[in-house]
Chains A and B, each alone.
Chain A
Amino acid sequence: MSATVPPLSQSQQHTAGSIRLLARPSLRRFRLTTSNVTAVIGTLLIAGLVLTAIFADVLSPYPPAERVGRPFARPSAEHLLGTNDIGQDILSELIYGTRISLTVGVTAALVTITIGTAVGVLAGYYRRLGSILMRLADIVLVLPFLPLLIMLAAYLGRSLWNTVIIIGLLSWAGTARIIRSQVLTIVNQDYILAAQGIGATHRHILYHHILPQVLLLATGQFVQATNAAILLEAALSFLGLGDPIQKSWGTVLYWAQVRGAFLTPAWLWWVLPPGLLIALASLGFALIGFALEQVINPRLRHNR
């Protein structure tokens, strides 16, 4: 490395983006392209779904809650994906469902990431509080996740807000641990000690020195949390614990299950499409998260 890098820039080389230079050139090119491809595919998928959600009223042929056809109709020119058990247009349900599923996923991920980042930053900065908070995180991590999710959803009742809050309250612990470990590496650096030395308040240091440094990591976590939240919302709704009025993709599958659609040819237009949409949304966020992680985590750049 010392042979190729001019000595003047050496001091900078050891900070932020330098590690990339340590990797062998051939491998670096390979990684760059794969991470670009994943990022592009992921972004296209999510952009498509977000546009569908925004323009749902323009795109969908019928109002989703209205009975616009014969029940259990097969796909036809009027109803491209047929109708459900009470004659609602399945395509319109799915287009509006995009709104619900994405909104719940993103909002739940926001709750997750807000709690996770706050706990992680505080736990990394204040040592004593930190050990208590991490104990709490350990407890949340060990409790059986899905049964607890189901139980809380059953007690709190079926609404979009409850789904968001339950997912957020149960998923922050992993993020908190990751953020904390990054904060722990920051707090001992010279400029933090210097800031403390010249009398900067804790509040100032937390807001101006630490928070900006963990935001990139938190963004990566947010994308992954959205992926997880979309799948969780789908599972909850599929178990009949979703909002009964505002139907998400999972709710459509719940009714398909209740009415036994997968035992008839209707699985092709009633079961296949909503699951495909859930999978595409999850995949989109997973791919973006994957690409982000390559950028954020220097160890991955090194090891993979």
Chain B
Amino acid sequence: MLSQARGGRAVQYLIVLVVAITLNFFLPRLMPGNPLALLAGVDVGLLKPEERAQIIEGAGLDRPLGEQYLRYWGDLLQGDLGYSYRQKRPIVDLLMERLPWTLLLSGAALLLSAVVGIITGAISAWRRAKAIDLSLLWTMIVINSLPSFWLGMLLIAVVAVQLGLLPSFGAVTPASGYSGWAHVVDVLRHAILPVITLSVISVPDIYLTMRYTMLGVLGEDFIRTARAKGLSERRILFAHVIPNALAPVVTVLTLRLGYAFGGAAVIETVFSYPGLGRLIFEAVSGRDYPVMQAAFLLFTVAVLLANLLADFLYPLLDPRTKAA
């Protein structure tokens, strides 16, 4: 039964992937304007005649739409994400160059926001309707209303510029010649502000999930039984409540892992951080559509993998399914 449900999920994810790829194929071809320009990502007039012929030939623009579609799939299956005529480089290289930076930012932010979100959520639920619960709840509601990029801009203005404590842009100091330990410190110093911004805006989601699930667990019969047995509050919290509340929270965290990739687009732009999100922004403002599309595909795959991971982890973490 369980494996059947999981099989159904896998099919659904496969459908999503097909939809994303199909969207990618049709968007530049059905938009008003010259598809050649949209596929090239540069002004057609700037292309050399042989480049132009190469694009038309490569995408099969002179062929019927069905054949173009099949060819598009064929290229993708061979791992060919296309070529950026603007940057004069294969798109795969561009993506791979940016990926580690986004992984660094979103990984660190996920870890930080998970720790803060789980702890504050647990405190809130445990002290429900007390002053600390209400103030945490209000704080999270306010944070949820802040535009993330604005928070980043304020941090730069205050911490980086006014106080001069941290660098305001980029991932490393340009032409610094740092190596070894000095390089690591440099990278970390550049990552602090974007990671803080990303973490702050991620905390409310995790907090609310933790608080809500834990309130549910606290109302269950086995907690009452544990109390009746005379267990200490501490023991009840750590042995009974938290393990039972963790599964949904881990699901939220895993899903965030997938979305963090694309969600960082705005933050990376503010900090001029050379990750994938910033790449999307650069591609959009430079009209380098093929790069934008490839990045979208990569994000889709990341989200789907995160979903698969979440489906896989949930039964392992939920004590109730373990017993069965």
Please give the residue numbers on chain A whose beta carbons come within 8 Å of chain B beta carbons, in ascending order: 27, 30, 34, 135, 138-139, 142-148, 150-156, 227, 231, 234-235, 238-241, 250, 253, 256-257, 262-264, 267, 271-272, 274-275, 278-280, 282-283, 286-287, 290, 303-304
Residues 240 to 259 of chain B near chain A (Cβ within 8 Å) = 258-259
Q: Using Cβ atoms and an 8 Å threshold, which residues of chain B touch A142? A: 12-13, 16, 303-304, 307
For B16, B23, B31, which residue has the most chain A Cβ atoms within 10 angstroms? B16
* B182 interfacial by beta-carbon distance below 8 Å: no
For B16, B27, B38, B157, which residue has the most chain A Cβ atoms within 10 angstroms? B157
B161's partner among A152, A257, A262 (CB-CB below 8 A) is A262
B261 & A144 in contact (Cβ 8 Å cutoff): yes
A286's partner among B134, B141, B258, B287 (CB-CB below 8 A) is B141
A267's partner among B19, B157, B269 (CB-CB below 8 A) is B157
* B273 interfacial by beta-carbon distance below 8 Å: no
B12 & A145 in contact (Cβ 8 Å cutoff): no
A155 & B269 in contact (Cβ 8 Å cutoff): no
A303 & B216 in contact (Cβ 8 Å cutoff): yes
Q: How far is the CA of A147 from the CA of B23 in the complex (A)?
A: 13
Q: Using Cβ atoms and an 8 Å threshold, which residues of chain B touch A264? A: 161
Shortest CB distance A294–B (Å): 13
A146 & B147 in contact (Cβ 8 Å cutoff): no
Shortest CB distance B137–A (Å): 9
B129's partner among A30, A143, A239, A267 (CB-CB below 8 A) is A30
Q: Using Cβ atoms and an 8 Å threshold, which residues of chain A touch B266? A: 146, 235, 238-239
B262 & A147 in contact (Cβ 8 Å cutoff): yes
Flag B248-284 by CB within 8 Å of A: 1 or 0 each: 0000000000110111011001100000000011001
17 contacts between A and B (CB under 8 A): A30-B129, A135-B12, A139-B16, A142-B303, A143-B16, A143-B19, A145-B262, A146-B263, A147-B262, A150-B284, A151-B27, A151-B296, A155-B289, A240-B285, A262-B154, A262-B156, A267-B161
* B60 interfacial by beta-carbon distance below 8 Å: no
For B20, B150, B300, which residue has the most chain A Cβ atoms within 10 angstroms? B150
Residues 79 to 133 of chain B near chain A (Cβ within 8 Å) = 128-129
Q: How far is the CA of A248 from the CA of B153 in the complex (A)?
A: 18
A239's partner among B281, B295, B299, B303 (CB-CB below 8 A) is B281
19 additional contacts, CB 8 Å, given A143-B20, A151-B292? A143-B303, A144-B258, A144-B296, A144-B299, A144-B303, A146-B262, A150-B281, A150-B284, A151-B296, A154-B289, A155-B27, A234-B147, A238-B147, A253-B153, A275-B153, A279-B142, A282-B145, A283-B141, A286-B141
Q: Using Cβ atoms and an 8 Å threshold, which residues of chain A touch B304? A: 142
B219 & A303 in contact (Cβ 8 Å cutoff): yes
B146 & A147 in contact (Cβ 8 Å cutoff): no
Q: How far is the CA of A30 from the CA of B266 in the complex (A)?
A: 39
Q: Using Cβ atoms and an 8 Å threshold, which residues of chain A touch B265? A: 146-147, 150, 239
* B168 interfacial by beta-carbon distance below 8 Å: yes
B134 & A34 in contact (Cβ 8 Å cutoff): yes
Q: Using Cβ atoms and an 8 Å threshold, which residues of chain A touch B300? A: 143-144
* B144 interfacial by beta-carbon distance below 8 Å: yes
